[in-house]
Amino acid sequence: MPSDSRILLTLLAAAALFPLAVHDPYVLHIAILVLFYVVLASSLNLIVGYVGEFSLGHTAFLGVGAYAAALLAQKAGWPVWATIPAAGALAAVAGGFIGAITLRLKGPYFVIVTLSFAEVLRLVANNWIAVTNGPMGLAGIPQGFLQDKRLFFYAVLAVAAVTLYLCYRFVHSNAGRGAVAVRESRFVAQSIGINPFGSAMLAFVLGAGLAGLAGGFYAHYITFVGPDIFQFSFMASMIIMVLIGGKGTLIGPIIGAAIVTLLEEYLRDMQELRLTLFGLIVMAVVLFLPNGIISLAPKLKRLRPHAPARPVSADRGVL
């Protein structure tokens, strides 16, 4: 059994018990944010870590999901349990559309075009006043049965569990191996029969759909969605999480999401300076720990003198 699944299950079980021990609404709020960012960072990681291209437009899917959930709840009166999955589905459709265009590009071109899609969507949200209410945004989004912070916590935990399950299945599937092959060597991948575009599309659409789920949750939790959701600040947080935690791993984005969310709260007093600090942290990570904090794990294992010898096949399931 790959060790990834055990770590993920342990983390989810621990998270499920968390609200039983903690009642402080502020702490619960932070925990909800952490889980929200776990979903977002894991979804971005599918693109950055498994397609191997750097997307700066991931907020497009977060925003599509958030607006979709808000509109479905407000104008069509859908219940929360239906709007959040629908938000994911709509964002996945948007992912299919944007991916079909952008995944034909490489490197900086991909970065720029994904960024411009997010920007275009922001302009649409700002100007299509009949639907999106323009810069005023959509306020007072109904929360349905989620009347309590604890229920919100379990809702986002469910979204995170679905996200991690789908990511785990993808990474440990034949399709996931194909995506890694394309990332590692496009030529080898094609020579063993992998369609690089199709493989990238699967990861991209999955990542978009999961970001849409996060957006749908966000809309109901905050009860407000405005064009700001497409702005760069969410994107910056996601990237920092994926890079600090370790791209191309399942656990890395979770670690990154926890660290960055807690740091953001802790450093809230510093306001603008906080972003400067994050910049420095990212530079340090890229320079000294290019594979993220998760890359320290094997080194720590080696330092422990009495650690049991790793069985030969223990890591086979882990890409």
Residues touching other proteins, count (CB under 8 A): 27
Q: Which of 17, 108, 187, 287 binds other proteins (CB under 8 A)?
A: 187
In degrees, rounded to 5, the angle at the alpha carbon of residue 318 between the alpha carbons of residues 289 and 204 is: 80
How far apart, in whole angstroms, are the C-alpha atoms of residue 172 and residue 155?
A: 26
Nearer to other proteins, 21 or 312 (CB): 312
Nearer to other proteins, 118 or 180 (CB): 180
Residue 1, interface with other proteins (CB under 8 A)?
A: no
Q: Which of 25, 136, 145, 184 binds other proteins (CB under 8 A)?
A: 184
Nearer to other proteins, 174 or 271 (CB): 174
| 188-207: contacts with other proteins (CB under 8 A) | 188-196
Q: How far is the CB of 163 from other proteins (least distance, A)?
A: 12
Q: How far is the CB of 31 from other proteins (least distance, A)?
A: 27
Contact by Cβ (8 Å): 52, 203: no
Residue 92, interface with other proteins (CB under 8 A)?
A: no
- Angle of the 272-288 helix axis to the 252-266 helix axis, nearest 10: 150
Residue 301, interface with other proteins (CB under 8 A)?
A: no
Contact by Cβ (8 Å): 104, 197: yes
Residue 36, interface with other proteins (CB under 8 A)?
A: no
Residue 23, interface with other proteins (CB under 8 A)?
A: no
Helix (H) or strand (E) holding 69: helix 59-74
Q: How far is the CB of 42 from other proteins (least distance, A)?
A: 15
How far apart, in whole angstroms, are the C-alpha atoms of residue 51 and residue 306?
A: 38
Contact by Cβ (8 Å): 240, 256: yes
Residue 251, interface with other proteins (CB under 8 A)?
A: no
Nearer to other proteins, 63 or 178 (CB): 178
Q: How many CB atoms lie within 10 A of CB 267?
A: 14
| 123-182: contacts with other proteins (CB under 8 A) | 166, 169-170, 173-175, 177-178, 180-181
CA distances from 226 to 136, 219, 223 (A): 7, 10, 10
Residue 288, interface with other proteins (CB under 8 A)?
A: no
Residue 100, interface with other proteins (CB under 8 A)?
A: no
Q: What's the half-sphere exposure (Cβ side, CA atoms, 13 Å) at 297?
A: 14
Nearer to other proteins, 150 or 177 (CB): 177
Residue 121, interface with other proteins (CB under 8 A)?
A: no
Q: How far is the CB of 164 from other proteins (least distance, A)?
A: 12
Contact by Cβ (8 Å): 163, 39: yes
Q: How far is the CB of 93 from other proteins (least distance, A)?
A: 15
- Annotate 212-229 with b (16+ C-beta within 10 A) or e (fewer): bbbbbbbbbbeebbbbbb
Residue 91, interface with other proteins (CB under 8 A)?
A: no
How far apart, in whole angstroms, are the C-alpha atoms of residue 306 and residue 181?
A: 36
Q: Which residues bind other proteins (CB under 8 A)?
A: 166, 169-170, 173-175, 177-178, 180-181, 184-185, 187-196, 312-313, 315-316, 319
